[in-house]
Amino acid sequence: AQKVTQAQTEISVVEKEDVTLDCVYETRDTTYYLFWYKQPPSGELVFLIRRNSFDEQNEISGRYSWNFQKSTSSFNFTITASQVVDSAVYFCALRIQNRDDKIIFGKGTRLHILP
Amino acid sequence: DSGVTQTPKHLITATGQRVTLRCSPRSGDLSVYWYQQSLDQGLQFLIQYYNGEERAKGNILERFSAQQFPDLHSELNLSSLELGDSALYFCASSVDWSVSDTQYFGPGTRLTVL
């Protein structure tokens, strides 16, 4: 069975602190894709990153970075020098190349950045 | 702005009623996906259409149906509504049907069933 676990339901940090959001996934398939989405208070889902299972390179985009480790089935997301605008719910998602083609979302982590 | 549009933004209706949610994908995208987001179930995939044909089905109830029209816009029909159907319904689109495609989400339709 496929599953995405975001164990941190809610996190609060003070502005300018670094914060890491954890994502652990389960699948027996070898070809899959991992995603992170941001859902700000306005409600829309904003795409942040896609990573395929054959590319374990870490990625950095401005203050955002992602650490993909197949050995621990984790795809963690770090925000450096957090800002109030980073306050949102963040979802990790998994999509596997099989008949279903569906995307499986974690329950999300609600991040509060305190001024 | 993802380029995916959804109407209406809000919908309030009563139990037993039927509603239609509409989605227009990004220009050039052939796949449309529907999701339901509720507090207890989280984000649940409902159904995917690719170029007018049903491609994948998720946890979609029999009271719900969808279709994608020749102009690629899609509609999600919810009938015999129950209180538990109150949720945020998202549409997403992607270029193709491939698993590697990134899905871009619309702003959602908030459905309240009273």
* Closest approach of B15 to chain A, Cα-based (Å): 25
Out of B2, B33, B108, name the one closest to residue A43 (CB). Answer: B108
Does residue B104 sit at the A interface (CB-CB below 8 Å)? yes
Contact B34, B74 (CB under 8 A): yes
Out of B42, B99, B104, name the one closest to residue A47 (CB). Answer: B104
Query: Could you please report the per-residue DSSP string of A30-44?
Result: SSEEEEEEEE-TT--
What is the C-alpha to C-alpha distance for residues A18 and A67, in angstroms, rounded to an integer? Answer: 14
Looking up tokens 């950095």 gives: A60
Does residue A30 sit at the B interface (CB-CB below 8 Å)? no
Residue B84 phi/psi, 5-degree rounding, is: -70, -10
Residue A71 reports pLDDT greater than 70: yes
pLDDT value, residue B96: 87
Pairing of strands B64-68, B74-78: antiparallel
Does residue B53 sit at the A interface (CB-CB below 8 Å)? no
Q: b/e map of A76-109 (b: 16 or more CB within 10 Å)?
A: bbbbeebeeebbbbbbbbbbbbeebbbbbbbbbb
Q: Do B56 and A102 touch (CB under 8 A)?
A: yes
Q: Do B99 and A33 touch (CB under 8 A)?
A: yes
Pairing of strands A74-79, A19-21: antiparallel
pLDDT cut 70: percent of chain B above it: 100
Contact B109, B12 (CB under 8 A): no
Residue A114 reports pLDDT greater than 80: yes
Top pLDDT among B19 and B97 is at B19
CA-wise closest residue to B46 among B67, B26, B15, B29: B67
Contacts of B97 in chain A (CB under 8 A): 101
pLDDT value, residue A103: 83
Contact A107, A21 (CB under 8 A): no
Q: What is the mean pLDDT of residues A18-43?
A: 94
Mean pLDDT of chain B: 94
Does residue B38 sit at the A interface (CB-CB below 8 Å)? no
SS3 A61: strand
pLDDT value, residue A46: 93
pLDDT value, residue A2: 86
pLDDT value, residue A48: 94
Contacts of B105 in chain A (CB under 8 A): 37, 44-47
pLDDT value, residue B17: 97
Chain centre distance of CA B75: 7
pLDDT value, residue B104: 93
Neighbour tally for A9: CB within 10 Å: 9
Residue A113 reports pLDDT greater than 70: yes
Residue A99 reports pLDDT greater than 60: no
Mutate to test the interface with A, among B4, B99, B112 (most CBs of A within 10 A): B99
Does residue B48 sit at the A interface (CB-CB below 8 Å)? yes
* Closest approach of B17 to chain A, Cα-based (Å): 25
Chain centre distance of CA A23: 6
Top pLDDT among A96 and A9 is at A9
pLDDT tens digit string along B72-107? 999 999 999 999 999 999 999 999 877 778 899 999
Token pair of A107, please?
A: 């329950």
* Bond from prior residue into B8 cis (ω within 30 degrees of 0): yes
Does residue B2 sit at the A interface (CB-CB below 8 Å)? yes
Token pair of A82, please?
A: 């957090």
What is the C-alpha to C-alpha distance for residues A107 and A70, in angstroms, rounded to an integer? Answer: 21
Q: What is the mean pLDDT of residues A7-36?
A: 95
Q: What is the mean pLDDT of residues A50-72?
A: 91
pLDDT tens digit string along A32-46? 999 999 999 988 899
